[in-house]
Amino acid sequence: MKQANLPPQRRAATRRTAGYAQEDHVLDPYQQRGKLHNGTLCPQCGAVYHEGRWRWAPASGGADKSLCAACRRINDNLPAGILKLRGIFGQQQTDEIVRLARHQEDAEKQEHPLNRIIGVEEEEEAIVIKTTDIHLPRRIGAAVRRAFHGRLTEDFDAAGYLVRVTWTVDR
């Protein structure tokens, strides 16, 4: 990601120690600020807004339509989470890790419809997974560590509402 494309508040990252602290009190700029009516439908993913949060539910006819925060992040390609998996991967291990990540995403987004993978990019000796939320990178990182050991580090930039999680393979 090119720095120039980021909003100014993203540029000053604050470093914090790795951990699983909750940052839910920190404001996500993509969170819905205005009031939505119960039953509002996201026309892109089909999530339905109900009593303050988005859920997977049947839409009623004639519902209001509004894009959810996850779809807006996907459309803007502006992740809240970036998980970088560093190591030397063959195609087989790459496929295995991507499958594992997708499995974690499926499990996560059943309960939390706005927590999703935006994209998976294969770089030289790394896999980069961008997400719409700050929880999924940790969940996937933890699953990769359970499967392959290695080390996890984490940086949370509160001002930019961006978490960067890095997994490094043991050598």
Among 11-19, 65-73, 78-86, 95-103, which window interacts with Zn ion (CB under 5 A)?
A: 65-73
For residue 74, the minimal CB distance to Zn ion (Å) is: 8
Is residue 44 near Zn ion by the rule CB under 5 A? yes
For residue 1, the minimal CB distance to Zn ion (Å) is: 22
Q: Give the residue with the Cβ less far from Zn ion, 60 or 153.
A: 60
Q: Which of residues 6-25 bind Zn ion (CB under 5 A)?
A: none
Structural contact between residues 116 and 109, judged by C-beta atoms closer than 8 angstroms: yes
Q: Measure CA of the first residue to CA of the last residue in the chain; give whole Å.
A: 28
Of 30, 32, 42, 116, which one interacts with Zn ion (CB under 5 A)? Answer: 42
CA atoms within 13 A on the CB side of 34: 7
Counting residues that bind Zn ion (by CB under 5 A) gives 5
Q: Give the residue with the Cβ less far from Zn ion, 84 or 130.
A: 130
Residues in the chain: 171
Relative orientation angle of helices 91-111 and 136-148, to the nearest 10 degrees: 140
Q: Give the residue with the Cβ less far from Zn ion, 71 or 165.
A: 71
Q: What is the 3-state secondary structure (H, E, C) of 141-153?
A: HHHHHHHHCCEEE
Residue given tokens 């119960």 in the structure block: 38
Q: What are the tokens at 160?
A: 């930019």
Of 13, 18, 45, 100, which one interacts with Zn ion (CB under 5 A)? Answer: 45
How far is Cα 121 from Cα 100, in angstroms, rounded to an integer?
A: 15
Site string for Zn ion, 66-85 (x = CB under 5 A): --x--x--------------
**Which positions lie near Zn ion, rule CB under 5 A?**
42, 44-45, 68, 71
